[in-house]
Structure 1
Amino acid sequence: MKLVVDIRRKRHPGKAKDTIGRLAFSAESGEFVAIVGPSGAGKTTLLKIIAGLDKDYEGGLDGAGDDARLGFVFQEPRLLPWLNVADNLRLVTPALSPALSDAEIDAGLAKVGLADTAAQFPLRLSGGMQRRVALLRAFLVRPELLLLDEPFISLDAPTAESLYQVLAELRSDVLPTTLLVTHDLREALALADRVLFVSHSPAQLILDYPIRLPKPRRRDDDAVSEMHRALIAQYPELLGGLGTARPNKEAA
Protein backbone atom coordinates (compact mmCIF):
# COMPACT_ATOMS: atom_id res chain seq x y z
CA MET A 1 0.00 0.00 0.00
CA LYS A 2 1.45 3.35 -1.01
CA LEU A 3 1.20 6.06 1.64
CA VAL A 4 1.10 9.76 0.78
CA VAL A 5 1.28 12.29 3.64
CA ASP A 6 0.66 16.01 3.12
CA ILE A 7 0.25 17.83 6.43
CA ARG A 8 0.08 21.61 6.23
CA ARG A 9 -0.40 22.38 9.92
CA LYS A 10 -1.08 20.73 13.26
CA ARG A 11 -1.48 22.61 16.53
CA HIS A 12 -2.63 21.09 19.82
CA PRO A 13 -5.38 23.01 21.64
CA GLY A 14 -4.00 25.51 24.12
CA LYS A 15 -0.51 25.52 22.60
CA ALA A 16 1.10 28.76 21.47
CA LYS A 17 2.75 27.29 18.38
CA ASP A 18 2.23 24.53 15.84
CA THR A 19 3.43 21.01 16.58
CA ILE A 20 3.83 20.14 12.89
CA GLY A 21 4.44 22.62 10.10
CA ARG A 22 4.40 21.72 6.40
CA LEU A 23 5.40 18.05 6.29
CA ALA A 24 4.92 16.08 3.08
CA PHE A 25 6.38 12.74 2.01
CA SER A 26 5.38 9.41 0.51
CA ALA A 27 6.28 5.77 1.15
CA GLU A 28 6.00 3.09 -1.49
CA SER A 29 4.19 -0.19 -0.88
CA GLY A 30 6.35 -2.39 1.33
CA GLU A 31 8.93 0.33 1.95
CA PHE A 32 10.49 0.76 5.40
CA VAL A 33 10.86 4.44 6.30
CA ALA A 34 12.42 5.67 9.54
CA ILE A 35 11.62 9.11 10.97
CA VAL A 36 14.34 10.70 13.10
CA GLY A 37 14.18 14.01 14.93
CA PRO A 38 14.65 15.66 18.33
CA SER A 39 12.35 15.09 21.31
CA GLY A 40 9.14 17.09 21.12
CA ALA A 41 9.30 17.42 17.34
CA GLY A 42 5.84 15.93 16.80
CA LYS A 43 6.89 12.47 15.55
CA THR A 44 4.38 10.58 17.70
CA THR A 45 1.69 13.09 16.76
CA LEU A 46 2.49 12.38 13.11
CA LEU A 47 1.95 8.64 13.63
CA LYS A 48 -1.36 9.29 15.41
CA ILE A 49 -2.53 11.40 12.46
CA ILE A 50 -1.55 8.68 9.99
CA ALA A 51 -3.31 6.07 12.14
CA GLY A 52 -6.51 8.12 12.13
CA LEU A 53 -6.35 8.69 15.90
CA ASP A 54 -5.97 12.46 15.50
CA LYS A 55 -8.11 14.13 12.85
CA ASP A 56 -7.64 17.72 14.05
CA TYR A 57 -5.08 18.92 11.50
CA GLU A 58 -4.85 20.69 8.17
CA GLY A 59 -3.80 18.57 5.22
CA GLY A 60 -4.54 15.18 3.76
CA LEU A 61 -3.52 11.52 3.64
CA ASP A 62 -3.80 8.90 0.95
CA GLY A 63 -3.48 5.22 1.81
CA ALA A 64 -4.09 5.56 5.55
CA GLY A 65 -6.92 6.02 7.99
CA ASP A 66 -10.01 3.96 8.62
CA ASP A 67 -9.84 1.74 5.52
CA ALA A 68 -6.27 0.47 5.91
CA ARG A 69 -5.37 -2.65 7.87
CA LEU A 70 -3.18 -1.08 10.50
CA GLY A 71 -0.62 -2.44 12.95
CA PHE A 72 0.63 -0.07 15.65
CA VAL A 73 3.45 -0.79 18.10
CA PHE A 74 3.87 1.77 20.87
CA GLN A 75 6.79 2.81 23.08
CA GLU A 76 5.41 0.55 25.81
CA PRO A 77 4.02 -2.94 25.10
CA ARG A 78 0.56 -1.95 26.42
CA LEU A 79 -0.42 -5.46 27.47
CA LEU A 80 -3.34 -5.74 29.88
CA PRO A 81 -1.91 -7.31 33.07
CA TRP A 82 -5.14 -9.12 34.03
CA LEU A 83 -5.26 -11.02 30.70
CA ASN A 84 -2.88 -13.78 29.71
CA VAL A 85 -0.77 -13.54 26.57
CA ALA A 86 -3.27 -15.38 24.36
CA ASP A 87 -6.16 -13.14 25.41
CA ASN A 88 -4.04 -10.01 24.92
CA LEU A 89 -3.40 -11.15 21.37
CA ARG A 90 -7.07 -11.90 20.74
CA LEU A 91 -8.02 -8.34 21.73
CA VAL A 92 -6.83 -6.94 18.39
CA THR A 93 -8.60 -9.52 16.24
CA PRO A 94 -12.31 -9.34 17.16
CA ALA A 95 -13.31 -8.88 13.52
CA LEU A 96 -11.39 -11.90 12.23
CA SER A 97 -13.56 -14.74 11.04
CA PRO A 98 -12.99 -17.42 12.02
CA ALA A 99 -11.42 -16.30 15.28
CA LEU A 100 -7.81 -17.16 16.01
CA SER A 101 -7.47 -20.68 17.30
CA ASP A 102 -5.23 -21.74 20.15
CA ALA A 103 -3.03 -23.50 17.61
CA GLU A 104 -2.62 -20.34 15.55
CA ILE A 105 -1.70 -18.32 18.64
CA ASP A 106 0.79 -20.97 19.73
CA ALA A 107 2.33 -20.97 16.24
CA GLY A 108 2.67 -17.19 16.25
CA LEU A 109 4.26 -17.18 19.69
CA ALA A 110 6.70 -19.89 18.64
CA LYS A 111 7.67 -17.77 15.63
CA VAL A 112 8.72 -14.89 17.88
CA GLY A 113 10.57 -17.17 20.30
CA LEU A 114 7.83 -17.38 22.93
CA ALA A 115 6.63 -20.97 22.68
CA ASP A 116 4.56 -22.17 25.64
CA THR A 117 3.80 -18.66 26.94
CA ALA A 118 0.14 -18.36 25.85
CA ALA A 119 -1.13 -18.90 29.40
CA GLN A 120 1.44 -16.61 31.03
CA PHE A 121 0.46 -13.18 32.35
CA PRO A 122 2.45 -10.14 31.13
CA LEU A 123 4.00 -9.31 34.49
CA ARG A 124 5.66 -12.73 34.47
CA LEU A 125 7.48 -11.86 31.23
CA SER A 126 10.65 -9.81 30.82
CA GLY A 127 10.51 -6.45 29.05
CA GLY A 128 11.97 -7.95 25.89
CA MET A 129 9.43 -10.77 25.92
CA GLN A 130 6.56 -8.31 26.35
CA ARG A 131 7.78 -6.40 23.33
CA ARG A 132 7.86 -9.61 21.29
CA VAL A 133 4.19 -10.10 22.17
CA ALA A 134 3.47 -6.50 21.14
CA LEU A 135 5.20 -7.03 17.78
CA LEU A 136 3.28 -10.25 17.13
CA ARG A 137 0.00 -8.54 18.07
CA ALA A 138 0.59 -5.86 15.43
CA PHE A 139 1.06 -8.50 12.72
CA LEU A 140 -1.95 -10.68 13.54
CA VAL A 141 -4.18 -8.43 11.43
CA ARG A 142 -1.74 -8.82 8.48
CA PRO A 143 -1.26 -5.05 8.30
CA GLU A 144 -0.94 -3.09 5.08
CA LEU A 145 0.51 -0.23 7.13
CA LEU A 146 2.74 -0.74 10.18
CA LEU A 147 3.50 2.14 12.56
CA LEU A 148 6.32 1.74 15.08
CA ASP A 149 6.65 4.42 17.76
CA GLU A 150 10.10 3.81 19.31
CA PRO A 151 9.26 0.17 20.07
CA PHE A 152 12.85 -0.69 21.05
CA ILE A 153 13.50 2.28 23.33
CA SER A 154 15.41 1.60 26.58
CA LEU A 155 16.37 -1.95 25.57
CA ASP A 156 19.94 -3.14 25.89
CA ALA A 157 21.77 -3.69 22.60
CA PRO A 158 21.57 -7.53 22.48
CA THR A 159 17.82 -7.50 23.24
CA ALA A 160 17.22 -4.81 20.63
CA GLU A 161 19.19 -6.75 18.02
CA SER A 162 17.13 -9.87 18.68
CA LEU A 163 13.93 -7.86 18.25
CA TYR A 164 15.19 -6.36 14.99
CA GLN A 165 15.43 -9.93 13.69
CA VAL A 166 11.91 -10.74 14.94
CA LEU A 167 10.58 -7.65 13.17
CA ALA A 168 12.35 -8.57 9.93
CA GLU A 169 10.94 -12.10 9.99
CA LEU A 170 7.40 -10.90 10.68
CA ARG A 171 7.64 -8.27 7.92
CA SER A 172 8.86 -10.83 5.39
CA ASP A 173 5.50 -12.63 5.50
CA VAL A 174 3.33 -9.52 5.02
CA LEU A 175 5.58 -6.72 3.66
CA PRO A 176 3.59 -3.81 5.10
CA THR A 177 4.52 -0.24 4.35
CA THR A 178 6.36 0.63 7.56
CA LEU A 179 7.08 3.86 9.43
CA LEU A 180 9.47 3.74 12.38
CA VAL A 181 9.90 6.68 14.75
CA THR A 182 13.22 6.54 16.58
CA HIS A 183 15.80 8.76 18.25
CA ASP A 184 18.48 6.20 17.45
CA LEU A 185 20.15 6.98 14.13
CA ARG A 186 22.06 3.68 14.10
CA GLU A 187 18.78 1.83 14.56
CA ALA A 188 17.27 3.75 11.64
CA LEU A 189 20.25 3.01 9.42
CA ALA A 190 20.17 -0.68 10.34
CA LEU A 191 16.46 -1.21 9.66
CA ALA A 192 15.15 1.26 7.11
CA ASP A 193 15.22 1.80 3.36
CA ARG A 194 15.06 5.58 3.85
CA VAL A 195 15.46 7.96 6.75
CA LEU A 196 13.39 11.14 7.00
CA PHE A 197 14.99 13.72 9.29
CA VAL A 198 12.57 16.25 10.75
CA SER A 199 13.22 19.58 12.42
CA HIS A 200 12.37 20.63 15.93
CA SER A 201 8.76 21.71 16.45
CA PRO A 202 6.96 22.72 14.30
CA ALA A 203 8.20 19.62 12.47
CA GLN A 204 9.26 19.97 8.87
CA LEU A 205 11.22 17.61 6.63
CA ILE A 206 14.88 18.66 6.48
CA LEU A 207 16.49 15.64 4.78
CA ASP A 208 15.24 12.57 2.91
CA TYR A 209 18.13 10.10 2.99
CA PRO A 210 18.07 6.79 1.05
CA ILE A 211 19.99 3.80 2.41
CA ARG A 212 21.48 1.61 -0.27
CA LEU A 213 23.20 -0.96 1.93
CA PRO A 214 22.17 -4.61 1.53
CA LYS A 215 19.95 -6.22 4.15
CA PRO A 216 20.00 -7.71 6.71
CA ARG A 217 22.10 -5.19 8.63
CA ARG A 218 23.21 -4.89 12.22
CA ARG A 219 23.60 -1.58 14.00
CA ASP A 220 27.28 -2.34 14.66
CA ASP A 221 28.10 -3.33 11.05
CA ASP A 222 31.11 -1.47 9.68
CA ALA A 223 29.04 -0.10 6.78
CA VAL A 224 26.36 1.21 9.15
CA SER A 225 29.00 2.77 11.40
CA GLU A 226 30.65 4.46 8.44
CA MET A 227 27.34 5.81 7.13
CA HIS A 228 26.53 7.12 10.61
CA ARG A 229 29.92 8.85 10.87
CA ALA A 230 29.64 10.36 7.39
CA LEU A 231 26.12 11.68 7.99
CA ILE A 232 27.05 13.40 11.24
CA ALA A 233 30.23 14.80 9.71
CA GLN A 234 28.40 16.15 6.67
CA TYR A 235 25.32 17.42 8.52
CA PRO A 236 26.48 18.31 12.05
CA GLU A 237 23.16 19.97 12.98
CA LEU A 238 21.00 17.14 11.66
CA LEU A 239 20.01 15.34 14.85
CA GLY A 240 19.29 18.65 16.58
CA GLY A 241 16.59 19.32 14.01
CA LEU A 242 17.95 22.78 13.28
CA GLY A 243 16.33 24.34 10.24
CA THR A 244 17.44 22.90 6.93
CA ALA A 245 20.15 20.28 6.79
CA ARG A 246 23.17 22.43 5.94
CA PRO A 247 26.17 20.35 4.91
CA ASN A 248 29.56 20.84 6.50
CA LYS A 249 31.58 22.03 3.50
CA GLU A 250 34.80 20.59 4.87
CA ALA A 251 33.23 17.14 5.23
CA ALA A 252 31.29 17.21 1.97
Structure 2
Amino acid sequence: MRNRNGIFWGLFLLLSAAILVVSQMHLITYTFGFWTIIVTIMLVAVLIKSLVYFAIPGTVFSLAFLAILYAKPLGITALVPWTILGAALLISIGLSMIFRPLIARHRPWMNKKYYRGYSWHHGRNFNGNGDPDVKTVNDSDVDVYVKMGSSIRYVKSENFKEANIDVSMGDAKVYFENVTVEGTAVINVNASLGGIELYIPKTWNVVKELDNNMGGVSEVGFSDVTVDSPVVTIRGLVSLSGLKISYI
Protein backbone atom coordinates (compact mmCIF):
# COMPACT_ATOMS: atom_id res chain seq x y z
CA MET A 1 0.00 0.00 0.00
CA ARG A 2 2.86 2.38 0.72
CA ASN A 3 4.29 1.69 -2.73
CA ARG A 4 0.96 2.54 -4.35
CA ASN A 5 0.73 5.76 -2.35
CA GLY A 6 4.21 6.68 -3.60
CA ILE A 7 3.18 6.01 -7.20
CA PHE A 8 0.04 8.09 -6.75
CA TRP A 9 1.76 11.14 -5.27
CA GLY A 10 4.63 10.92 -7.75
CA LEU A 11 2.31 10.88 -10.77
CA PHE A 12 0.10 13.53 -9.21
CA LEU A 13 3.00 15.95 -8.72
CA LEU A 14 4.31 15.33 -12.24
CA LEU A 15 0.94 15.97 -13.87
CA SER A 16 0.27 18.98 -11.65
CA ALA A 17 3.58 20.48 -12.79
CA ALA A 18 2.69 19.75 -16.43
CA ILE A 19 -0.73 21.38 -16.12
CA LEU A 20 0.76 24.43 -14.43
CA VAL A 21 3.52 24.88 -17.05
CA VAL A 22 1.18 24.38 -20.02
CA SER A 23 -1.35 26.85 -18.61
CA GLN A 24 1.27 29.54 -18.01
CA MET A 25 3.01 29.13 -21.38
CA HIS A 26 -0.30 29.47 -23.25
CA LEU A 27 0.48 26.39 -25.34
CA ILE A 28 -3.26 25.79 -25.61
CA THR A 29 -5.37 28.36 -27.44
CA TYR A 30 -8.28 27.98 -25.03
CA THR A 31 -7.93 30.13 -21.90
CA PHE A 32 -8.49 28.40 -18.58
CA GLY A 33 -9.47 30.19 -15.39
CA PHE A 34 -7.70 29.78 -12.08
CA TRP A 35 -10.45 27.70 -10.50
CA THR A 36 -10.71 25.55 -13.61
CA ILE A 37 -7.05 24.65 -13.21
CA ILE A 38 -7.51 23.91 -9.49
CA VAL A 39 -10.53 21.64 -10.15
CA THR A 40 -8.63 19.97 -12.97
CA ILE A 41 -5.73 19.14 -10.68
CA MET A 42 -8.16 17.70 -8.11
CA LEU A 43 -9.90 15.56 -10.73
CA VAL A 44 -6.59 14.39 -12.14
CA ALA A 45 -5.56 13.39 -8.61
CA VAL A 46 -8.73 11.31 -8.28
CA LEU A 47 -8.13 9.81 -11.72
CA ILE A 48 -4.58 8.74 -10.89
CA LYS A 49 -5.58 7.32 -7.53
CA SER A 50 -8.43 5.39 -9.16
CA LEU A 51 -6.08 3.93 -11.74
CA VAL A 52 -3.50 2.98 -9.11
CA TYR A 53 -6.13 1.22 -6.98
CA PHE A 54 -8.06 -0.26 -9.94
CA ALA A 55 -11.20 1.67 -9.02
CA ILE A 56 -13.33 1.70 -12.16
CA PRO A 57 -16.13 4.06 -10.94
CA GLY A 58 -13.60 6.63 -9.74
CA THR A 59 -11.73 6.45 -13.06
CA VAL A 60 -14.84 6.78 -15.21
CA PHE A 61 -16.52 9.52 -13.20
CA SER A 62 -13.36 11.62 -12.90
CA LEU A 63 -13.09 11.48 -16.70
CA ALA A 64 -16.78 12.36 -16.98
CA PHE A 65 -16.38 15.44 -14.79
CA LEU A 66 -13.32 16.47 -16.80
CA ALA A 67 -15.39 16.11 -19.97
CA ILE A 68 -18.08 18.36 -18.47
CA LEU A 69 -15.47 20.88 -17.37
CA TYR A 70 -13.81 20.99 -20.80
CA ALA A 71 -16.91 20.48 -22.95
CA LYS A 72 -16.23 23.61 -25.01
CA PRO A 73 -12.62 22.94 -26.07
CA LEU A 74 -13.51 19.27 -26.63
CA GLY A 75 -16.41 20.27 -28.86
CA ILE A 76 -19.01 18.28 -26.93
CA THR A 77 -21.24 21.12 -25.70
CA ALA A 78 -24.20 19.34 -27.33
CA LEU A 79 -23.98 16.75 -24.54
CA VAL A 80 -25.65 17.97 -21.37
CA PRO A 81 -23.98 17.05 -18.06
CA TRP A 82 -26.71 14.54 -17.14
CA THR A 83 -26.12 12.69 -20.39
CA ILE A 84 -22.40 12.41 -19.67
CA LEU A 85 -23.00 11.30 -16.07
CA GLY A 86 -25.63 8.79 -17.16
CA ALA A 87 -23.23 7.32 -19.69
CA ALA A 88 -20.51 7.23 -17.02
CA LEU A 89 -22.81 5.25 -14.72
CA LEU A 90 -23.57 2.65 -17.39
CA ILE A 91 -19.90 2.43 -18.40
CA SER A 92 -18.89 1.94 -14.75
CA ILE A 93 -21.32 -0.95 -14.34
CA GLY A 94 -20.27 -2.59 -17.59
CA LEU A 95 -16.54 -2.30 -17.00
CA SER A 96 -16.90 -3.49 -13.40
CA MET A 97 -18.62 -6.65 -14.63
CA ILE A 98 -16.06 -7.24 -17.40
CA PHE A 99 -12.92 -6.62 -15.35
CA ARG A 100 -14.07 -8.12 -12.05
CA PRO A 101 -11.66 -11.10 -12.29
CA LEU A 102 -8.75 -8.69 -12.89
CA ILE A 103 -9.78 -6.47 -9.98
CA ALA A 104 -10.14 -9.50 -7.72
CA ARG A 105 -6.50 -10.43 -8.31
CA HIS A 106 -5.48 -7.09 -6.80
CA ARG A 107 -7.89 -7.46 -3.87
CA PRO A 108 -7.17 -10.97 -2.52
CA TRP A 109 -10.15 -11.05 -0.15
CA MET A 110 -12.49 -11.00 -3.18
CA ASN A 111 -11.25 -14.46 -4.18
CA LYS A 112 -11.33 -16.21 -0.82
CA LYS A 113 -14.55 -18.17 -0.32
CA TYR A 114 -16.24 -15.06 -1.62
CA TYR A 115 -19.37 -16.30 -3.27
CA ARG A 116 -20.02 -19.29 -1.07
CA GLY A 117 -23.74 -19.41 -0.51
CA TYR A 118 -24.42 -16.36 -2.68
CA SER A 119 -25.37 -15.99 -6.32
CA TRP A 120 -24.84 -13.18 -8.80
CA HIS A 121 -28.00 -11.11 -8.57
CA HIS A 122 -28.47 -9.18 -11.78
CA GLY A 123 -30.14 -6.11 -10.40
CA ARG A 124 -31.97 -7.81 -7.54
CA ASN A 125 -31.23 -8.41 -3.90
CA PHE A 126 -34.81 -7.90 -2.81
CA ASN A 127 -37.61 -10.28 -2.05
CA GLY A 128 -40.97 -10.08 -3.77
CA ASN A 129 -42.22 -7.34 -1.44
CA GLY A 130 -39.31 -5.03 -2.20
CA ASP A 131 -37.88 -5.41 1.30
CA PRO A 132 -34.14 -5.82 1.98
CA ASP A 133 -32.61 -9.28 2.02
CA VAL A 134 -32.25 -10.07 5.74
CA LYS A 135 -30.28 -13.03 7.11
CA THR A 136 -28.61 -14.19 10.31
CA VAL A 137 -25.12 -15.66 9.89
CA ASN A 138 -23.59 -18.00 12.47
CA ASP A 139 -20.27 -18.73 10.74
CA SER A 140 -16.81 -17.51 11.71
CA ASP A 141 -16.37 -16.27 8.11
CA VAL A 142 -19.06 -13.98 6.71
CA ASP A 143 -19.61 -13.14 3.04
CA VAL A 144 -21.96 -10.36 1.97
CA TYR A 145 -22.43 -9.49 -1.69
CA VAL A 146 -24.89 -6.82 -2.84
CA LYS A 147 -25.45 -5.62 -6.39
CA MET A 148 -28.18 -3.05 -7.06
CA GLY A 149 -30.05 -4.08 -3.95
CA SER A 150 -30.13 -3.98 -0.18
CA SER A 151 -29.06 -6.49 2.47
CA ILE A 152 -29.01 -6.72 6.24
CA ARG A 153 -26.86 -9.29 8.03
CA TYR A 154 -26.92 -10.15 11.73
CA VAL A 155 -23.69 -11.92 12.62
CA LYS A 156 -23.76 -14.34 15.55
CA SER A 157 -20.44 -16.09 15.99
CA GLU A 158 -18.47 -17.33 18.97
CA ASN A 159 -15.22 -17.25 17.01
CA PHE A 160 -15.49 -14.53 14.38
CA LYS A 161 -12.51 -14.42 12.01
CA GLU A 162 -13.29 -12.58 8.79
CA ALA A 163 -16.03 -10.74 6.91
CA ASN A 164 -16.00 -9.92 3.20
CA ILE A 165 -18.46 -7.22 2.22
CA ASP A 166 -18.81 -6.22 -1.43
CA VAL A 167 -21.43 -3.63 -2.39
CA SER A 168 -22.00 -2.27 -5.88
CA MET A 169 -24.84 0.20 -6.46
CA GLY A 170 -26.63 -0.90 -3.32
CA ASP A 171 -26.36 -0.83 0.44
CA ALA A 172 -25.55 -3.29 3.20
CA LYS A 173 -25.94 -3.16 6.96
CA VAL A 174 -23.96 -5.67 9.00
CA TYR A 175 -24.46 -6.04 12.76
CA PHE A 176 -21.63 -7.57 14.81
CA GLU A 177 -23.15 -7.04 18.26
CA ASN A 178 -23.49 -10.79 19.03
CA VAL A 179 -19.95 -11.68 18.07
CA THR A 180 -16.94 -12.94 20.01
CA VAL A 181 -13.45 -12.39 18.64
CA GLU A 182 -10.53 -14.51 19.80
CA GLY A 183 -7.55 -12.20 19.40
CA THR A 184 -7.86 -10.64 15.94
CA ALA A 185 -10.29 -10.46 13.03
CA VAL A 186 -10.58 -8.73 9.66
CA ILE A 187 -13.45 -6.99 7.89
CA ASN A 188 -12.79 -6.50 4.18
CA VAL A 189 -14.95 -3.93 2.41
CA ASN A 190 -15.31 -3.03 -1.23
CA ALA A 191 -17.91 -0.32 -1.84
CA SER A 192 -18.60 1.06 -5.30
CA LEU A 193 -21.46 3.50 -5.86
CA GLY A 194 -23.13 2.26 -2.70
CA GLY A 195 -23.11 2.33 1.06
CA ILE A 196 -21.95 0.07 3.88
CA GLU A 197 -22.94 0.43 7.53
CA LEU A 198 -21.07 -1.57 10.16
CA TYR A 199 -22.43 -1.87 13.70
CA ILE A 200 -19.46 -2.82 15.85
CA PRO A 201 -19.06 -3.43 19.59
CA LYS A 202 -17.41 -0.42 21.20
CA THR A 203 -15.05 -2.76 23.06
CA TRP A 204 -13.26 -3.66 19.82
CA ASN A 205 -9.94 -2.06 19.02
CA VAL A 206 -10.68 -1.04 15.44
CA VAL A 207 -7.77 -0.46 13.04
CA LYS A 208 -8.74 1.25 9.77
CA GLU A 209 -6.72 0.50 6.64
CA LEU A 210 -8.99 2.05 4.04
CA ASP A 211 -8.43 3.60 0.64
CA ASN A 212 -10.95 6.40 0.14
CA ASN A 213 -11.62 7.42 -3.44
CA MET A 214 -14.24 10.17 -3.71
CA GLY A 215 -16.13 8.51 -0.88
CA GLY A 216 -16.89 9.19 2.74
CA VAL A 217 -15.93 7.33 5.90
CA SER A 218 -17.68 8.32 9.12
CA GLU A 219 -17.82 7.05 12.69
CA VAL A 220 -20.73 7.28 15.10
CA GLY A 221 -20.30 6.86 18.83
CA PHE A 222 -17.13 6.17 20.77
CA SER A 223 -14.99 3.12 21.41
CA ASP A 224 -14.20 1.84 24.89
CA VAL A 225 -10.95 -0.02 24.39
CA THR A 226 -8.94 -1.81 27.06
CA VAL A 227 -5.72 -3.82 26.97
CA ASP A 228 -7.80 -6.99 26.53
CA SER A 229 -9.82 -5.67 23.59
CA PRO A 230 -9.66 -7.76 20.40
CA VAL A 231 -8.04 -6.10 17.39
CA VAL A 232 -10.33 -5.90 14.36
CA THR A 233 -8.92 -4.47 11.12
CA ILE A 234 -11.25 -2.85 8.60
CA ARG A 235 -9.58 -2.65 5.24
CA GLY A 236 -10.50 -2.19 1.61
CA LEU A 237 -11.69 0.42 -0.86
CA VAL A 238 -14.50 2.98 -0.66
CA SER A 239 -15.06 4.41 -4.15
CA LEU A 240 -17.83 6.96 -4.75
CA SER A 241 -19.53 5.43 -1.76
CA GLY A 242 -20.04 5.79 1.95
CA LEU A 243 -18.82 3.70 4.86
CA LYS A 244 -20.37 4.28 8.28
CA ILE A 245 -18.94 2.67 11.41
CA SER A 246 -21.27 2.76 14.41
CA TYR A 247 -19.99 1.73 17.83
CA ILE A 248 -22.66 -0.03 19.88
TM-score (norm 1): 0.28
Highest RCO, 1 vs 2 (Cα 8 Å, sep ≥ 6): 1
Work out which of the two has the higher radius of gyration on C-alpha atoms and give 1 or 2: 2
